[in-house]
Amino acid sequence: MIGIIGGSGLDDPRILKGTKELEVITPYGKPSSPLTIGKIKGVGVVILARHGKKHTIMPSNVNYRANIWALKEQGCTHIIATSACGSLREEIKPGHLVFVDQFIDRTTKRHSTFYDKDKVCHIPMAEPFCPELRKLLAEAAKRLKLRYHEKGTVITIEGSRFSTKAESNMFRQWGADVINMSTVPEVVLAKEAGLHYQVIAMSTDYDCWHEVEESVDIQMVLRIMKQNSENVKKLILETIPKIKEHKECGCETLIEGAIIGGEEEVDEHIKEKGFIEMDIKSLIRTVPHFPKKGIMFRDITTLIKDAKGFKKVIDDLTERYKDKKIDVVVGIESRGFIFGGAIAYSLGVGFVPIRKPGKLPAETVAQEYSLEYGADKIEVHKDAILPGQHVLIVDDLLATGGTCSAAATLVEKLGGKVVECAFVINLPDLKGKEKLNSYPIFTMVEFEGE
Protein backbone atom coordinates (compact mmCIF):
# COMPACT_ATOMS: atom_id res chain seq x y z
CA MET A 1 0.00 0.00 0.00
CA ILE A 2 1.36 3.42 -0.99
CA GLY A 3 0.57 6.55 1.02
CA ILE A 4 0.34 9.87 -0.80
CA ILE A 5 0.37 13.08 1.21
CA GLY A 6 -0.95 15.87 -1.03
CA GLY A 7 -1.60 14.34 -4.41
CA SER A 8 -4.07 16.90 -5.76
CA GLY A 9 -6.12 15.44 -8.61
CA LEU A 10 -5.17 11.81 -7.94
CA ASP A 11 -8.60 11.06 -6.50
CA ASP A 12 -10.08 11.55 -9.99
CA PRO A 13 -12.26 8.42 -10.56
CA ARG A 14 -10.64 8.01 -13.97
CA ILE A 15 -7.33 7.47 -12.15
CA LEU A 16 -8.18 6.07 -8.72
CA LYS A 17 -10.34 2.93 -9.01
CA GLY A 18 -12.60 1.43 -6.36
CA THR A 19 -12.55 4.62 -4.34
CA LYS A 20 -13.80 4.80 -0.79
CA GLU A 21 -13.41 7.47 1.86
CA LEU A 22 -12.56 6.45 5.42
CA GLU A 23 -12.67 8.60 8.55
CA VAL A 24 -10.31 7.33 11.24
CA ILE A 25 -9.18 8.34 14.69
CA THR A 26 -5.70 7.48 15.92
CA PRO A 27 -4.23 7.50 19.45
CA TYR A 28 -3.06 11.01 18.50
CA GLY A 29 -6.46 12.22 17.37
CA LYS A 30 -7.85 12.75 13.88
CA PRO A 31 -5.60 13.04 10.84
CA SER A 32 -5.82 16.17 8.69
CA SER A 33 -8.45 14.70 6.38
CA PRO A 34 -10.46 11.55 5.73
CA LEU A 35 -8.42 8.90 3.92
CA THR A 36 -9.21 8.35 0.24
CA ILE A 37 -8.47 4.71 -0.55
CA GLY A 38 -8.40 2.96 -3.91
CA LYS A 39 -6.08 1.55 -6.56
CA ILE A 40 -3.90 3.21 -9.17
CA LYS A 41 -2.79 0.87 -11.94
CA GLY A 42 -3.59 -2.07 -9.67
CA VAL A 43 -1.59 -0.78 -6.70
CA GLY A 44 -3.30 0.04 -3.39
CA VAL A 45 -3.11 3.75 -2.55
CA VAL A 46 -4.15 5.88 0.43
CA ILE A 47 -4.37 9.65 -0.17
CA LEU A 48 -4.31 12.17 2.68
CA ALA A 49 -4.60 15.97 2.42
CA ARG A 50 -1.95 17.37 4.77
CA HIS A 51 -3.64 20.73 5.26
CA GLY A 52 -7.21 19.43 5.02
CA LYS A 53 -9.42 19.00 1.97
CA LYS A 54 -9.95 22.77 1.75
CA HIS A 55 -6.46 23.77 2.96
CA THR A 56 -7.75 25.08 6.28
CA ILE A 57 -4.95 23.80 8.56
CA MET A 58 -1.86 25.97 8.98
CA PRO A 59 1.54 24.16 8.96
CA SER A 60 2.08 24.44 12.73
CA ASN A 61 -1.36 22.94 13.43
CA VAL A 62 -1.08 19.88 11.18
CA ASN A 63 -1.44 16.70 13.26
CA TYR A 64 1.64 15.06 11.75
CA ARG A 65 1.64 12.15 14.21
CA ALA A 66 -1.97 11.26 13.45
CA ASN A 67 -1.31 11.53 9.70
CA ILE A 68 1.65 9.15 9.71
CA TRP A 69 -0.03 6.78 12.18
CA ALA A 70 -3.19 6.62 10.05
CA LEU A 71 -1.22 5.74 6.90
CA LYS A 72 0.82 3.12 8.75
CA GLU A 73 -2.34 1.63 10.25
CA GLN A 74 -3.84 1.24 6.75
CA GLY A 75 -0.86 -0.88 5.73
CA CYS A 76 1.22 1.71 3.88
CA THR A 77 4.90 0.81 3.46
CA HIS A 78 5.89 3.83 1.33
CA ILE A 79 4.90 7.49 1.39
CA ILE A 80 5.27 9.94 -1.47
CA ALA A 81 4.67 13.47 -0.19
CA THR A 82 4.29 16.64 -2.23
CA SER A 83 5.22 20.07 -0.94
CA ALA A 84 5.36 23.58 -2.36
CA CYS A 85 8.73 25.19 -1.70
CA GLY A 86 10.72 28.33 -2.38
CA SER A 87 13.98 28.07 -4.28
CA LEU A 88 17.18 29.28 -2.65
CA ARG A 89 19.30 28.58 -5.75
CA GLU A 90 19.39 30.31 -9.12
CA GLU A 91 19.42 26.96 -10.96
CA ILE A 92 16.23 25.71 -9.23
CA LYS A 93 13.68 27.70 -11.18
CA PRO A 94 9.95 28.01 -10.43
CA GLY A 95 8.26 24.92 -11.87
CA HIS A 96 11.25 22.64 -11.21
CA LEU A 97 10.94 19.53 -9.00
CA VAL A 98 13.51 18.66 -6.35
CA PHE A 99 13.87 15.19 -4.81
CA VAL A 100 15.50 16.33 -1.59
CA ASP A 101 17.88 14.08 0.31
CA GLN A 102 18.62 16.24 3.39
CA PHE A 103 16.77 18.63 5.67
CA ILE A 104 17.48 21.42 8.14
CA ASP A 105 14.90 21.80 10.90
CA ARG A 106 13.86 25.31 11.91
CA THR A 107 10.50 24.36 13.45
CA THR A 108 9.74 25.02 17.12
CA LYS A 109 6.13 24.10 17.92
CA ARG A 110 5.57 20.59 16.59
CA HIS A 111 5.48 17.08 18.05
CA SER A 112 8.41 15.41 16.32
CA THR A 113 8.35 11.94 17.90
CA PHE A 114 5.95 9.17 18.88
CA TYR A 115 8.13 8.55 21.96
CA ASP A 116 7.41 11.46 24.29
CA LYS A 117 6.87 9.46 27.48
CA ASP A 118 8.39 6.41 29.20
CA LYS A 119 10.90 5.84 26.38
CA VAL A 120 13.30 8.01 24.37
CA CYS A 121 13.89 7.52 20.65
CA HIS A 122 17.26 8.44 19.13
CA ILE A 123 16.37 7.60 15.53
CA PRO A 124 19.36 7.85 13.12
CA MET A 125 18.80 10.71 10.68
CA ALA A 126 21.98 10.84 8.60
CA GLU A 127 19.95 9.84 5.52
CA PRO A 128 16.43 11.04 6.31
CA PHE A 129 14.77 10.26 2.96
CA CYS A 130 14.46 6.93 1.17
CA PRO A 131 17.27 6.62 -1.41
CA GLU A 132 15.51 3.91 -3.41
CA LEU A 133 12.23 5.82 -3.62
CA ARG A 134 14.12 8.97 -4.59
CA LYS A 135 15.87 7.04 -7.36
CA LEU A 136 12.55 5.71 -8.71
CA LEU A 137 11.10 9.23 -8.79
CA ALA A 138 14.16 10.64 -10.58
CA GLU A 139 14.07 7.87 -13.18
CA ALA A 140 10.37 8.50 -13.79
CA ALA A 141 10.96 12.26 -14.10
CA LYS A 142 13.67 11.60 -16.66
CA ARG A 143 11.37 9.37 -18.74
CA LEU A 144 8.68 12.07 -18.62
CA LYS A 145 11.22 14.78 -19.55
CA LEU A 146 10.37 16.88 -16.51
CA ARG A 147 12.67 19.54 -15.10
CA TYR A 148 14.04 18.09 -11.88
CA HIS A 149 16.98 17.94 -9.47
CA GLU A 150 18.04 14.56 -8.06
CA LYS A 151 19.21 15.92 -4.69
CA GLY A 152 18.90 18.94 -2.49
CA THR A 153 18.59 20.17 1.07
CA VAL A 154 15.25 21.50 2.27
CA ILE A 155 14.98 23.80 5.25
CA THR A 156 11.61 23.59 7.01
CA ILE A 157 10.52 26.75 8.84
CA GLU A 158 7.67 27.09 11.30
CA GLY A 159 5.58 29.47 9.19
CA SER A 160 3.02 30.42 8.36
CA ARG A 161 4.76 33.68 7.48
CA PHE A 162 7.38 33.74 4.72
CA SER A 163 11.05 34.50 5.43
CA THR A 164 12.73 37.86 5.76
CA LYS A 165 15.53 38.66 3.28
CA ALA A 166 18.04 38.26 6.09
CA GLU A 167 16.71 34.79 6.91
CA SER A 168 16.55 33.78 3.26
CA ASN A 169 20.20 34.75 2.70
CA MET A 170 21.24 33.04 5.93
CA PHE A 171 19.54 29.81 4.82
CA ARG A 172 21.48 30.01 1.52
CA GLN A 173 24.73 30.34 3.47
CA TRP A 174 23.77 27.27 5.50
CA GLY A 175 23.60 25.23 2.31
CA ALA A 176 19.84 24.91 1.96
CA ASP A 177 18.53 24.62 -1.61
CA VAL A 178 14.77 24.95 -1.06
CA ILE A 179 12.54 26.12 1.78
CA ASN A 180 9.12 24.89 2.93
CA MET A 181 6.88 24.59 6.00
CA SER A 182 5.86 20.92 6.06
CA THR A 183 8.62 18.32 5.62
CA VAL A 184 9.65 18.31 9.29
CA PRO A 185 8.47 16.52 11.42
CA GLU A 186 6.68 14.45 8.76
CA VAL A 187 9.89 12.78 7.55
CA VAL A 188 11.08 12.10 11.12
CA LEU A 189 7.83 10.43 12.12
CA ALA A 190 7.88 8.34 8.94
CA LYS A 191 11.34 7.12 9.92
CA GLU A 192 10.13 6.17 13.40
CA ALA A 193 7.27 4.30 11.73
CA GLY A 194 9.63 2.29 9.54
CA LEU A 195 8.21 3.78 6.34
CA HIS A 196 9.99 4.57 3.07
CA TYR A 197 9.40 8.31 2.70
CA GLN A 198 10.27 10.77 -0.06
CA VAL A 199 9.07 14.29 -0.69
CA ILE A 200 8.62 15.88 -4.10
CA ALA A 201 9.50 19.54 -3.52
CA MET A 202 7.77 21.75 -6.09
CA SER A 203 9.61 25.03 -6.61
CA THR A 204 7.10 27.87 -6.86
CA ASP A 205 9.23 30.99 -6.32
CA TYR A 206 12.66 32.38 -5.37
CA ASP A 207 11.65 33.11 -1.78
CA CYS A 208 12.86 36.69 -1.21
CA TRP A 209 16.67 36.53 -1.56
CA HIS A 210 16.74 37.14 -5.32
CA GLU A 211 17.63 40.71 -6.27
CA VAL A 212 15.83 40.59 -9.64
CA GLU A 213 12.91 38.20 -9.22
CA GLU A 214 9.74 39.22 -7.42
CA SER A 215 9.53 38.29 -3.72
CA VAL A 216 7.22 35.43 -2.82
CA ASP A 217 3.54 35.89 -1.99
CA ILE A 218 0.74 33.35 -1.66
CA GLN A 219 -0.84 34.15 -5.02
CA MET A 220 2.44 33.42 -6.78
CA VAL A 221 2.72 30.09 -4.95
CA LEU A 222 -0.82 29.05 -5.85
CA ARG A 223 -0.38 30.03 -9.50
CA ILE A 224 2.81 27.99 -9.99
CA MET A 225 1.40 25.06 -8.00
CA LYS A 226 -1.61 24.92 -10.30
CA GLN A 227 0.65 24.95 -13.34
CA ASN A 228 2.86 22.23 -11.85
CA SER A 229 0.17 19.93 -10.45
CA GLU A 230 -0.35 18.07 -13.73
CA ASN A 231 3.37 17.24 -13.93
CA VAL A 232 3.42 15.99 -10.35
CA LYS A 233 0.35 13.86 -11.00
CA LYS A 234 2.02 12.31 -14.07
CA LEU A 235 5.18 11.67 -12.04
CA ILE A 236 3.34 9.87 -9.25
CA LEU A 237 1.33 7.78 -11.72
CA GLU A 238 4.54 6.81 -13.49
CA THR A 239 6.32 5.90 -10.24
CA ILE A 240 3.68 3.93 -8.32
CA PRO A 241 3.80 0.72 -10.43
CA LYS A 242 7.60 0.70 -10.12
CA ILE A 243 7.60 0.65 -6.33
CA LYS A 244 7.05 -3.13 -6.38
CA GLU A 245 10.61 -3.29 -7.78
CA HIS A 246 11.88 -1.28 -4.82
CA LYS A 247 14.94 -2.78 -3.17
CA GLU A 248 15.10 -2.86 0.61
CA CYS A 249 17.20 0.06 1.85
CA GLY A 250 17.03 -0.13 5.64
CA CYS A 251 14.35 2.51 6.22
CA GLU A 252 12.09 -0.11 7.77
CA THR A 253 14.63 -1.24 10.38
CA LEU A 254 16.20 2.02 11.58
CA ILE A 255 13.93 2.08 14.62
CA GLU A 256 15.47 -1.11 15.98
CA GLY A 257 17.99 -0.26 18.64
CA ALA A 258 16.98 3.43 18.63
CA ILE A 259 14.90 3.26 21.83
CA ILE A 260 16.18 3.61 25.37
CA GLY A 261 14.30 3.65 28.67
CA GLY A 262 11.19 1.77 29.73
CA GLU A 263 11.14 -2.00 29.51
CA GLU A 264 14.37 -3.66 28.43
CA GLU A 265 12.62 -6.17 26.23
CA VAL A 266 10.61 -4.90 23.28
CA ASP A 267 7.51 -6.84 22.29
CA GLU A 268 8.02 -8.46 18.87
CA HIS A 269 4.54 -7.36 17.84
CA ILE A 270 5.56 -3.76 18.30
CA LYS A 271 8.61 -4.22 16.09
CA GLU A 272 6.47 -5.67 13.34
CA LYS A 273 4.15 -2.67 13.43
CA GLY A 274 7.11 -0.31 13.23
CA PHE A 275 6.47 1.56 16.48
CA ILE A 276 8.32 0.35 19.55
CA GLU A 277 5.87 2.11 21.87
CA MET A 278 2.70 1.04 20.07
CA ASP A 279 0.33 -0.23 22.74
CA ILE A 280 -2.99 -2.02 23.00
CA LYS A 281 -4.89 1.20 22.37
CA SER A 282 -3.41 1.49 18.90
CA LEU A 283 -4.93 -1.87 17.95
CA ILE A 284 -8.48 -0.78 18.83
CA ARG A 285 -10.33 0.67 15.86
CA THR A 286 -12.64 3.66 16.28
CA VAL A 287 -15.71 3.67 14.03
CA PRO A 288 -17.45 7.07 13.95
CA HIS A 289 -21.28 7.27 14.03
CA PHE A 290 -21.91 3.60 14.90
CA PRO A 291 -24.44 2.25 15.75
CA LYS A 292 -25.93 5.74 15.38
CA LYS A 293 -24.80 9.26 14.60
CA GLY A 294 -22.68 10.89 17.28
CA ILE A 295 -21.33 7.66 18.80
CA MET A 296 -17.62 6.81 18.51
CA PHE A 297 -17.63 3.00 18.63
CA ARG A 298 -14.50 1.34 20.05
CA ASP A 299 -14.12 -1.82 17.99
CA ILE A 300 -12.10 -4.60 19.65
CA THR A 301 -12.25 -6.93 16.62
CA THR A 302 -9.04 -5.34 15.33
CA LEU A 303 -7.39 -6.11 18.67
CA ILE A 304 -8.51 -9.71 19.01
CA LYS A 305 -7.64 -10.59 15.40
CA ASP A 306 -4.06 -9.51 16.12
CA ALA A 307 -2.54 -12.64 17.66
CA LYS A 308 0.22 -10.93 19.59
CA GLY A 309 -1.96 -8.00 20.66
CA PHE A 310 -4.65 -10.36 21.97
CA LYS A 311 -2.01 -12.44 23.71
CA LYS A 312 -0.59 -9.34 25.37
CA VAL A 313 -4.00 -8.44 26.81
CA ILE A 314 -4.51 -11.93 28.23
CA ASP A 315 -0.93 -12.22 29.48
CA ASP A 316 -1.07 -8.82 31.22
CA LEU A 317 -4.38 -9.59 32.93
CA THR A 318 -3.21 -13.08 33.92
CA GLU A 319 -0.09 -11.57 35.47
CA ARG A 320 -2.26 -9.14 37.44
CA TYR A 321 -4.55 -11.80 38.88
CA LYS A 322 -2.35 -14.89 39.19
CA ASP A 323 -1.68 -14.30 42.90
CA LYS A 324 -5.11 -12.94 43.89
CA LYS A 325 -6.63 -16.39 44.59
CA ILE A 326 -9.39 -16.10 42.00
CA ASP A 327 -11.83 -19.04 42.12
CA VAL A 328 -13.92 -18.18 39.08
CA VAL A 329 -13.99 -15.64 36.26
CA VAL A 330 -17.31 -14.10 35.24
CA GLY A 331 -17.69 -12.77 31.70
CA ILE A 332 -20.48 -10.36 30.71
CA GLU A 333 -22.29 -11.00 27.43
CA SER A 334 -20.96 -10.96 24.88
CA ARG A 335 -17.47 -9.55 24.40
CA GLY A 336 -16.69 -10.28 28.03
CA PHE A 337 -16.82 -13.95 27.05
CA ILE A 338 -13.87 -13.50 24.70
CA PHE A 339 -11.53 -12.03 27.30
CA GLY A 340 -13.01 -13.71 30.38
CA GLY A 341 -12.84 -17.22 28.93
CA ALA A 342 -9.21 -16.80 27.89
CA ILE A 343 -8.21 -15.37 31.27
CA ALA A 344 -10.00 -18.18 33.14
CA TYR A 345 -8.14 -20.75 31.04
CA SER A 346 -4.83 -19.01 31.65
CA LEU A 347 -5.46 -18.81 35.41
CA GLY A 348 -6.63 -22.43 35.54
CA VAL A 349 -10.05 -21.59 36.99
CA GLY A 350 -13.65 -21.93 35.87
CA PHE A 351 -15.58 -19.50 33.69
CA VAL A 352 -19.16 -18.31 34.28
CA PRO A 353 -21.17 -16.45 31.63
CA ILE A 354 -23.64 -13.75 32.59
CA ARG A 355 -26.23 -13.50 29.83
CA LYS A 356 -29.30 -11.68 28.64
CA PRO A 357 -32.69 -13.19 29.57
CA GLY A 358 -33.69 -16.49 27.97
CA LYS A 359 -30.18 -17.56 26.97
CA LEU A 360 -29.31 -19.86 29.90
CA PRO A 361 -31.04 -23.29 30.03
CA ALA A 362 -31.14 -24.07 33.78
CA GLU A 363 -32.56 -22.19 36.76
CA THR A 364 -31.29 -18.62 36.90
CA VAL A 365 -31.07 -15.56 39.12
CA ALA A 366 -31.82 -12.22 37.43
CA GLN A 367 -30.92 -8.60 38.05
CA GLU A 368 -32.43 -5.52 36.45
CA TYR A 369 -30.47 -2.33 35.75
CA SER A 370 -31.34 1.09 34.41
CA LEU A 371 -30.63 2.37 30.92
CA GLU A 372 -30.89 5.94 29.63
CA TYR A 373 -34.41 5.09 28.43
CA GLY A 374 -35.99 2.19 30.31
CA ALA A 375 -34.37 -0.87 31.88
CA ASP A 376 -32.71 -4.17 30.98
CA LYS A 377 -31.94 -7.45 32.74
CA ILE A 378 -29.11 -10.00 32.95
CA GLU A 379 -29.09 -13.54 34.37
CA VAL A 380 -26.71 -16.13 35.75
CA HIS A 381 -27.23 -19.81 36.57
CA LYS A 382 -28.24 -20.22 40.19
CA ASP A 383 -25.57 -22.86 40.80
CA ALA A 384 -22.76 -21.06 38.91
CA ILE A 385 -21.05 -19.47 41.93
CA LEU A 386 -20.64 -21.00 45.38
CA PRO A 387 -20.83 -19.00 48.61
CA GLY A 388 -17.43 -17.58 49.54
CA GLN A 389 -15.85 -17.91 46.09
CA HIS A 390 -13.55 -15.12 44.96
CA VAL A 391 -14.81 -13.76 41.62
CA LEU A 392 -13.16 -11.69 38.89
CA ILE A 393 -15.67 -9.89 36.60
CA VAL A 394 -14.43 -9.23 33.05
CA ASP A 395 -15.85 -7.18 30.19
CA ASP A 396 -14.37 -5.42 27.18
CA LEU A 397 -15.51 -1.87 27.93
CA LEU A 398 -16.56 0.28 30.88
CA ALA A 399 -19.06 2.94 29.82
CA THR A 400 -21.81 3.94 32.28
CA GLY A 401 -21.14 0.92 34.52
CA GLY A 402 -24.77 -0.21 34.70
CA THR A 403 -24.26 -3.73 33.34
CA CYS A 404 -21.21 -4.43 35.49
CA SER A 405 -22.97 -3.12 38.59
CA ALA A 406 -25.81 -5.57 37.92
CA ALA A 407 -23.30 -8.38 37.35
CA ALA A 408 -21.61 -7.64 40.68
CA THR A 409 -25.00 -7.70 42.41
CA LEU A 410 -25.70 -11.14 40.90
CA VAL A 411 -22.35 -12.44 42.17
CA GLU A 412 -23.16 -11.21 45.66
CA LYS A 413 -26.70 -12.67 45.54
CA LEU A 414 -25.08 -16.08 45.07
CA GLY A 415 -22.71 -15.50 47.99
CA GLY A 416 -19.60 -14.72 45.93
CA LYS A 417 -17.05 -11.98 46.68
CA VAL A 418 -16.07 -9.60 43.87
CA VAL A 419 -12.27 -9.31 43.88
CA GLU A 420 -12.13 -6.82 41.01
CA CYS A 421 -13.89 -5.71 37.83
CA ALA A 422 -11.49 -5.71 34.84
CA PHE A 423 -11.99 -3.97 31.51
CA VAL A 424 -9.83 -3.54 28.44
CA ILE A 425 -11.29 -0.09 27.65
CA ASN A 426 -12.54 2.72 29.88
CA LEU A 427 -14.60 5.67 28.65
CA PRO A 428 -14.08 8.08 31.59
CA ASP A 429 -16.40 10.72 30.13
CA LEU A 430 -19.33 8.38 30.89
CA LYS A 431 -18.33 8.09 34.59
CA GLY A 432 -18.66 4.32 34.91
CA LYS A 433 -16.03 4.18 37.65
CA GLU A 434 -18.15 6.48 39.79
CA LYS A 435 -21.11 4.09 39.53
CA LEU A 436 -18.86 1.17 40.51
CA ASN A 437 -17.07 3.01 43.31
CA SER A 438 -17.84 0.26 45.83
CA TYR A 439 -15.77 -2.26 43.83
CA PRO A 440 -12.09 -2.37 42.83
CA ILE A 441 -11.77 -1.43 39.14
CA PHE A 442 -8.95 -2.07 36.67
CA THR A 443 -8.84 -0.78 33.09
CA MET A 444 -6.07 -1.15 30.50
CA VAL A 445 -6.63 1.83 28.16
CA GLU A 446 -8.75 4.97 28.12
CA PHE A 447 -10.43 6.96 25.36
CA GLU A 448 -11.11 10.31 26.97
CA GLY A 449 -12.70 13.15 25.00
CA GLU A 450 -11.94 11.40 21.70
Which residues fall within 8 angstroms of residue 99, CB to CB, at 6 or more apart?
129, 134, 137, 138, 141, 148, 149, 150, 151, 152, 198, 199, 200, 201
Q: Is residue 294 within a helix (H) or strand (E), and if so which, with residue range?
A: none
Catalytic residue among 11, 177, 207, 396: 207
Q: What sections of 287-400 are H helices per DSSP?
A: 301-304, 307-321, 335-347
Catalytic residue among 11, 101, 177, 205: 205
> How many other CB atoms are found less than 10 A from the CB of residue 414?
18
**217 has catalytic annotation:** no
Classify burial at 95, counting beta carbons within 10 Å of its beta carbon; exposed 0-12, middle 13-18, buried 19 or more: middle
- Asked if residue 351 lies in contact with residue 331, where contact means CB atoms within 8 angstroms, the answer is yes
Phi first, then psi, for residue 364 (nearest 5°) are -125, 165
**315 has catalytic annotation:** no
Q: What are the DSSP calls for 206-261, one per residue?
A: -TTT-SSSPPP-HHHHHHHHHHHHHHHHHHHHHHGGGGGGPPP-SGGGTTTT-EES
Active site residues: 205, 207
